[in-house]
Structure 1
Amino acid sequence: MIRLEGALYPWRFRLVLLLLALMVGAIVWRIVDLHVFDHDFLKAHGDARSVRHIPIPAHRGLVTDRNGEPLAVSTPVTTLWANGKELQAGKAQWSALAAALGQEPKGLAVRLQANAEREFMYLVRGLTPEQGQRVLDLKLPGVYAIEEFRRFYPGGEVTAHVVGFTDIDDRGREGMELAFDEWLAGVPGKRQVLKDRRGRLIKDVQVTQNAKAGKTLALSIDLRLQYLAHRELRNALVEFGAKAGSLVMIDVKTGEVLAMVNQPTYNPNNRRNLQPAAMRNRAMIDVFEPGSTMKPFSMSAALASGRWQPSDTVDVYPGTLRIGRYTIRDVSRSSAPLSLTEILIKSSNVGMSKVAFDIGGESIYSVMQQVGLGQDTGLGFPGERVGNLPNHREWRQAETATLSYGYGLSVTAVQLVHAYSVLANGGRSVPLSLTRMERKPDGVQVIPEDIAKTLQGMLQEVIEAPGGVFRAKVPGYHVAGKSGTARKVSTDSRGYRANAYRSLFAGFGPVNDPRIAVAIVIDEPSKGGYYGGLVSAPVFGKVMAGALRLMNVVPDNLTPPVESQATALNAVKGGRI
């Protein structure tokens, strides 16, 4: 007789049934629990497979000039991307896609084939919304769109070196776009959407976080003055065949940079053929020996010593001065002694050196340091250099002489114009700013006011006296300034390059109440001359004339017309007045 195993061991059978019942009960309870009590669990997992958060791009902040004119704006663009796997199913439509994108069909086909296993690849970025919609209207499987913003610069090459530009991801890469990237960038938002397993959008659910636009940045630049400076600097480079140039204009009362231009420049809206050298903001990055433009600060040290007055004279005959194995030479030789003012007018290196020997190199160094040479300007501009102002433990005659007439130190164009603004502002130094100031900053008296006023008169004579730099004159205004011509240092050997010069001019106006200081640096003029009074001084005169009129500064050098004087005299005689 055959006996069943379960009959022999009935407890085992019952145990198996019990375990099966418990397992079924647990499953049933879990189903009830998930659907009735703990339904958030299923919802969370369902959402994890279908709910997505896509970023909402933030509108980058506007950059304007001091008067609200836009210098950098963001415009919406469409970026198209593709799922390479999905696109493989629509190979027949690749030629239509290439036509809509404006690309070569063969090239696009090769790229799509190379990315066949990728789920994300960019097709094209920065299309206008209309162009992007034409591609989307083809309804190709695997082609999707992202809304982004693209930066546009209305000022183009005129403001390129100051404003800078952003990269394709809208991050600041140069200029003020880089320096104030966090201020301008804003915070992206989030949008909750439902997508199927292929990543296709099913439903736009809600905005979970609004995008926060970047803040507006108002620069100190005046776009009108920027265009004026750009035009005159460019014309000078063409006229004299120069390699490069810079011009900086500042408000002497507030320290605001009103214009900053460089040549060569570039168009930030089209950087396809951009040359790296054109991107340099030379006014803040290039350092150079400033030459005779330093003589007013050496004169300041002489006047402050109490040992010299503007009328005191120095014997400069025969126009040369031997110091060891070095010989100092004057371009304009004079047989008669020169006063301190005449030393500036004739730009006498011999006369300046003899004054410097009397007062010592340390006093000249102190004045130059006080006006900001060799110091950080505080502008925070990316890549800005501070130059070099040497301080020797022992000031020998050679170091003292060369420093007094602008050799042996290096400065930037911004430092040069800042130093002249101190003279123009009655000896008070105010911090520089590339952003618009809401109130006048506090200044520091670094040169005695009476000495600064005296130097203003001396520098006015440099332009207006017979034999002065007449090309820098401004009709209707008294202006002051000093030219300079500096040889260029050789980079591959010791000493200076032959026939390579920088032509400089720095000045301010109007003299009765200075408002604007300007510095011009023109690099390697190759035709028509190279002296600062010939090459850079006319740029100063034209830019200063236009700037003073644009700023509605009242003329201080107007001569009453002869006809008006005669009419007034006749009116008096006739009893009408």
Structure 2
Amino acid sequence: MNLISFISWRFYLVIAIIIIATIGLMWRVFDLTILNQHFLRQQGDERILRLVKTPAFRGMIVDRNGSPLAVSTTVYSVWMNPQEFTPTKKDLISLQNLLKIQAKLISSLYQRNQAKKREFVYIKRSLSPDLAKQIKALHIPGIYLQQDYRRYYPEGEVVAQVVGFTNIDDQGQEGIELAYNLWLSGKSGKKWVIKDRLGRMISEIQTIHEQKPGNNLVLSVDRRLQYLAYRELLKGILENQASSGSAIILDVKTGEILAMVNQPSFNPNSRDVYNRNSFRNRAVTDIFEPGSTIKAFSVASALDSGHFHPDTVIDTYPGWLRVGRNVVMDEHNNGPLTVTQILQKSSNVGVTKIVLSLPPDHLWSVLHRVGFGEITGVGFPGEQGGVLVKHQPWGAFTLATLSWGYGISVTTLQLARAYAVIANGGLKLPVSLLRVEQPPAGEQVMDKKIAKQLVSLLESVVTKGGTGELASVPGYRVAGKTGTAKLVGQQGYQKHKYVSSFVGMAPASQPQLVVAVVIHDPQGKNYHGGQVSGPVFEKIMEGTLRMLDIPPDA
């Protein structure tokens, strides 16, 4: 009887435990499915539901005729989730061979970020679609791909310093890419998607907001003229063994920059091997003393005074002039010269005598009105305004040196715009790197009659006997001016180091184009502006006139 009672008691105890356990399990099921169901849903969603960013397409940069200068291409980034990535030796070797990253560096990256509980770490970015496809085929757990965009520049180094470039996140860093970054950049979108354990997208659940592509940008640059200017400038730099140079082609009637080139340049598609000095757009960021190219405005101030005319005679004998304790010299004793001949022969003595006979602020006023000493407003990052000091009082030698281009610093763009004022009948237009649909009204800063006289005077410079004879273009009347100035170093002006320049316009009967060429530190047998920059000007201007179908006027 006692044995039966004991067995019965154990039986009921087991039954009770089973019933209690069953009730507990049922309660737990009820709790998770009814009372606290969001817990399971959250756990499930965390494993398969992802909020992903959809990259936006950056706007294209095109030239005035629609040819692409900067486009975005599809690339991929490979990344790891250190909490899922458990690499084998075979996996590391495979990644090493494809990504060209040492296996030990990938392993170190994994271990370091796993310890920090991170779930997203880039391994390498900007991979080609073909390479991304090969990595995907490895099927390594914890390794994922992300679609991005990368900038590609079809014209390479020809337009590099104007267009600039973006960084790995597709944000502008230099040039137009930086200046118009907000306009070009799109807005990334976001959406909820379901992914499997290998990171593959199963389906899209909901779009939070659509990506918005960036806006396209049309430049004033003509890639044909850009290539022409680049080729001829490079040739001139090599022939004269110069350190650097810039060239600009400017549309006189609209203020549009048709070409802007520099040397040395760089390839924006592969810039790791270049010095950062190659990145800057020297035509707007580098200032220099322009030398005799300023004499055109010294003569303009003389004509504006009413005391001088193109045929007014100035005696430059004996080829030098003492100004205070200093001496102004010409290369030759030219004797009596007309104002026209002073410009043609580029006489320092003649232009000094003219300017010293005028009110001290007169020349400064002319230079200021045509845009020297202030930025052009082209909107290019890093643009310099140059230096034009208004002295009070003016020293005689300070004024004399200003008359032939010392004591003033300018950029190549400022020099081109100032000559465009002369070419456009004294009308100063804003310069633009964007295509202009409607020419602006401009500002009359020089008397139209004086501007016309100046064009005629500057024509004599490129005729026989002038300093710019090598800049003449067959079939066209050309007007321009040479410039040669010593380079400044830490110890003052340097021996045998010069800035050689030529700025001119054509066709002189009705100027439509201005071309400025500036070459720094030529080390060949020649260093004068007419010999170094003049031939480069001639090639650029001749090719431009031909490409734009501008009829001859000679």
TM-score between both structures, scaled by the size of structure 1: 0.87
How do 1:56-455 and structure 2 match up within 5 A?
Answer: 56-88=54-86, 90-117=88-115, 118-195=118-195, 201=201, 203-335=203-335, 337-455=336-454
SS of aligned partner of 1:334: coil
Shift in alpha-carbon separation, 1:366–1:500, aligned structure 2, 3 A: same
* CA drift at 1:462: 1.1
> Residue 499 of structure 2 contacts residue 520 of structure 2 at CA under 8 Å; is this kept in 1?
yes
Q: Distance in 2 between matches of 1:227 and 1:430?
A: 25
| Separation in structure 2 between the aligned mates of residue 332 and residue 71 of structure 1, nearest angstrom | 49
In structure 2, stretches of 5+ residues that fail to align are 1-25
Worse-superposed segment, 209-218 or 462-471: 462-471
Query: Is the contact made by 1:361 and 1:399 (CA closer than 8 Å) also made in structure 2?
Result: no
Which letter does structure 1 place at the counterpart of 2:534? Answer: A
Aligned-pair CA distance for 1:323: 1.5
Secondary structure of 2:211's aligned partner:
coil
Q: Is the 8 A contact 1:90 1:141 kept in 2?
A: no
Shift in alpha-carbon separation, 1:200–1:72, aligned structure 2, 3 A:
closer
Match of 1:564 in 2: none
Q: Match of 1:474?
A: 473
Amino acid in structure 1 at the alignment position of 2:172: G
The amino acid of 1:188's aligned partner reads: S
Within 2, Cα distance between the matches of 1:197 and 1:155?
A: 43
For the residue of structure 1 that corresponds to 2:508, the secondary structure is: coil
Deviation, 1:512, is 1.1
Paired with 2:262 and 2:203, the residues of 1 have a C-alpha distance of 52
Q: 1:244 Cα deviation (Å)?
A: 0.5
Question: How many angstroms does 1:392 deviate by?
Answer: 1.1
What is the alpha-carbon distance in structure 2 between the residues aligned to residue 466 and residue 200 of structure 1? 77
Residue type matched to 1:548 in 2?
Answer: L
SS of residue in 1 equivalent to 2:172: coil
- SS at the partner of 1:380? coil
1:413-435 CA-to-partner distances (Å, cap 9, x unmatched) read 00000000000000000000000
- Between the aligned partners of 1:44 and 1:168, the Cα distance in structure 2 is 35
Measured after TM superposition, the shift of residue 259 of structure 1 is 0.5
424-433 or 387-396, which moves further after superposition? 387-396
Q: Deviations over 1:361-385 (max 9, x none)?
A: 3111001001000111011111110
* 8 Å Cα contact 1:50-1:194 kept in structure 2: yes
SS of the residue 1:176 aligns to: helix
Q: Amino acid of the residue matched to residue 54 of structure 2?
A: I
Q: Which residue of 2 aligns with 1:502?
A: 499
Instruction: Give the secondary structure class of the aligned counterpart of 1:521.
Output: strand
Query: For the residues of structure 2 that align with 1:29 and 1:100, how far apart are their CA atoms?
Result: 50
8 Å Cα contact 1:471-1:538 kept in structure 2: yes
Q: Give 1:464's aligned residue.
A: 463
Give yes or no for the alignment of 1:530 onto 2:527. Answer: yes
C-alpha contact (below 8 Å) 1:195/1:203 kept by paired residues: yes
Segments of structure 1 that go 5 or more residues without pairing to the other structure are: 1-23, 558-577
Displacement of 1:225: 0.5
* CA contact 1:461–1:468 (8 Å) conserved in 2: no
Residue aligned with 2:409, SS: coil
Alignment of 1:33-52 (within 5 A): 47=45, 50-52=48-50
Listed one character per residue, the Cα deviations across residues 374-420 of structure 1 (whole Å, up to 9, x for unaligned) are 11101111111000111011122112111111110100000000000
**Matched residue type, 2:272:** R
Residues 144 and 199, structure 2, Cα contact 8 Å, conserved in 1: no
Which of 503, 512, 515 is the equivalent residue of 2:512?
A: 515
Quick one: structure 1 residues 98 and 358, their matched pair in 2 at CA, closer, same or farther if it must change by over 3 Å? Answer: same
CA distance in 2, matches of 1:510, 1:409: 29
Whether the aligned pair in 2 keeps the contact of 1:57 and 1:188 (CA below 8 Å) is yes
Letter in 2 for 1:484: G
Distance (whole Å) between structure 2 residues aligned to residue 89 and residue 510 of structure 1? 71
Displacement after TM superposition at 1:349 (Å): 0.6
2:81–2:120 Cα contact (<8 Å) kept: yes
The one-letter amino acid of 1:78's match is: Y
Residue 270 of structure 1 aligns to a residue whose secondary structure is coil
Paired amino acid for 2:324: G
C-alpha distance in 2 between matches for 1:225 and 1:397: 43
Structure 1 residue matching 2:391: 3-state secondary structure: coil
CA distance in 1, matches of 2:414, 2:98: 53
Aligned mates of 1:513, 1:215 — CA distance in 2: 37
Q: Deviations over 1:493-533 (max 9, x none)?
A: 2x311111000111111011111101111000001210001
8 A Cα contact 2:245 2:517, kept in partner:
yes
What per-residue deviation string (whole Å, max 9, x for no partner) do you get for residues 338-374 of structure 1? 1000000110011001000111331110010010001
Look up the match of 1:18.
none
How high is the TM-score relative to the length of structure 2? Answer: 0.91
Distance between the aligned counterparts of 2:366 and 2:43, measured in 1? Answer: 73
1:542 equivalenced with 2:539 (yes/no) = yes
Distance 1:89 1:48, change over 3 A: closer
Question: Which deviates the most, 157-166 or 467-476?
Answer: 467-476
Q: Residues 308-333 of structure 1: CA distance to partner in whole angstroms, max 9, x if unpaired?
A: 11100111111111112211111232
Pairwise CA RMSD of aligned residues?
2.2
Distance 2:510 2:345 in 1: 26
Local SS of the residue matching 1:144:
strand
Aligned sequence identity (%): 47
Q: Give the whole-Å Cα distance in 2 for the aligned partners of 1:201 and 1:475.
A: 66
Is 1:552 equivalent to 2:549 in the alignment? yes
